[in-house]
Amino acid sequence: MSKVLKKLYIWLIILFLYAPIVVLMVYSFNDSRSRATWSGFTFRWYIELFQDRMILQALYYTITIALLSSVIATIIGTFAAIGIFGYKKLSFNLVRNISYIPVINADIVTGVSLMLLFVFLGINQGFFTLLIAHITFNIPYVIFSVLPKLYQMDVHVYEAAMDLGASPLTSILKVVIPEIRHGIITGFLLAFTLSLDDFVISFFTTGPGVNNLSIIIYSMARRGINPKINALSTLMFAVVMILLFVINKKSASNNHLEKKVRREI
């Protein structure tokens, strides 16, 4: 009986999480603009989506900012995590807690603070300021994705590489990075997802003519959700699911290969 209840509980959670997405996907093929009636199956909104310059421009900025910010934040955050890991206990706890503040800080505080900083420095808000803002709030998430993998790593491997004549940088690139790559990938994906989804910080740090999808959707939602947004959301969800499947498949293959090599050794 307990097993049945556990399975029922899990399926209820899955239903609660994914039912709204399924409804959105279904209504992206609805011929009617209304969400209350079904008027027939159509690809009309997908066709109109790729003809809407405003949405396509917002999609371009969203993906460009997300990719650039997540790559840069992953590089900075990875080396920052390695540096923090090397601190002594007191310094380690202090720097780790300081790094954690942006994670628990309210988005509106971060957004307004960055906006005031850009105004104080006389920087015109636009693509550059939006990119800097996304890099800033992504770095802590990368740090806290990489640090657990550093805890699991055998530090003696790094020391052995140094003893064999490798430079500190070479040891990090050839020994440490491969050991913590799963944490780095997790941090990158988390940063990319957060950048795609962000609205509050983007709203305060962007400028005229540079809008991401969250800002466009917010402005459109005040006049009612356009079915083209349903079509766009469906495509984005499908792409993310495909990427996750490919990454998980590759990760599982690598883990299987590692276990096989260890058995042979």
pLDDT tens digit string along 12-22? 888 888 888 88
Residue 38 DSSP symbol: -
Give 95's contacts (C-beta < 8 A, 6+ positions apart).
Answer: 84, 87
On the question of pLDDT at 7 being above 60, the answer is yes
Provide the sign of the torsion angle of the four alpha carbons 234, 46, 216, 191, taken in this order: positive
Residues 125/128/130/132 CA torsion (nearest 10 deg): -120
Q: What's the whole-model pTM score?
A: 0.80
Taking CA atoms, 91 is separated from 33, 79, 84, 88, 150, in Å, by: 58, 17, 8, 6, 17
Q: Show Cβ contacts of residue 124 under 8 Å, excluding neighbours closer than 6 positions.
A: 207
Task: Check whether 90 has a pLDDT greater than 70.
Answer: no
What pLDDT, on the 0 to 100 scale, is given for residue 72?
Answer: 95
* 141, two tokens: 């998430």
Q: Specify the pLDDT at position 116.
A: 92
Q: And the tokens for 13?
A: 């959670």
Stretch 156-171: mean pLDDT = 78
Mention every residue, 6+ apart, whose C-beta is less than 8 A from residue 21: 237
Per-residue pLDDT band for 171 (boundaries 50, 70, 90) equals confident
In this predicted structure, the answer to whether residue 259 has a pLDDT above a threshold of 70 is: no
Higher per-residue confidence, 35 vs 193: 193
Q: What is the pLDDT of residues 31-43, one digit of tens each?
A: 877 777 788 888 8
User: 123-132, 217-226, 254-263 — which one is most confidently predicted on average?
Assistant: 123-132
Other CB atoms within a 10 A radius of the CB of residue 59 amount to: 18
Q: Are 169 and 106 in contact (CB under 8 A)?
A: no
Collapse the DSSP code of 206 into the 3-class scheme (helix H, G, I; strand E, B; otherwise coil) and give the result. Answer: coil
Sorted by where each begins, the domain ranges of the chain are 53-224, 227-265
Q: Phi and psi at residue 30, in whole multiples of 5°?
A: -80, 130
Residue 198, pLDDT score? 86
CATH number of 53-224: 1.10.3720.10
Report the distance separating Cα 106 and Cα 199, nearest Å.
13
Mean pLDDT of 41-60: 86
Residue 87 is given by DSSP the state S
How wide is the angle at C-alpha 59 spanned by C-alphas 241 and 220, nearest 5°? 105
The residue-averaged pLDDT of 146-169 equals 80
Query: Which whole-number Å values give the CA distances from 264 to 136, 153, 178, 257, in the listed order?
Result: 44, 21, 20, 11
Contact of 137 with 194, CB cutoff 8 Å: yes
DSSP secondary structure string, 216-260?
Answer: HHHHHHTT---HHHHHHHHHHHHHHHHHHHHHHHHHHHHHHHHHH
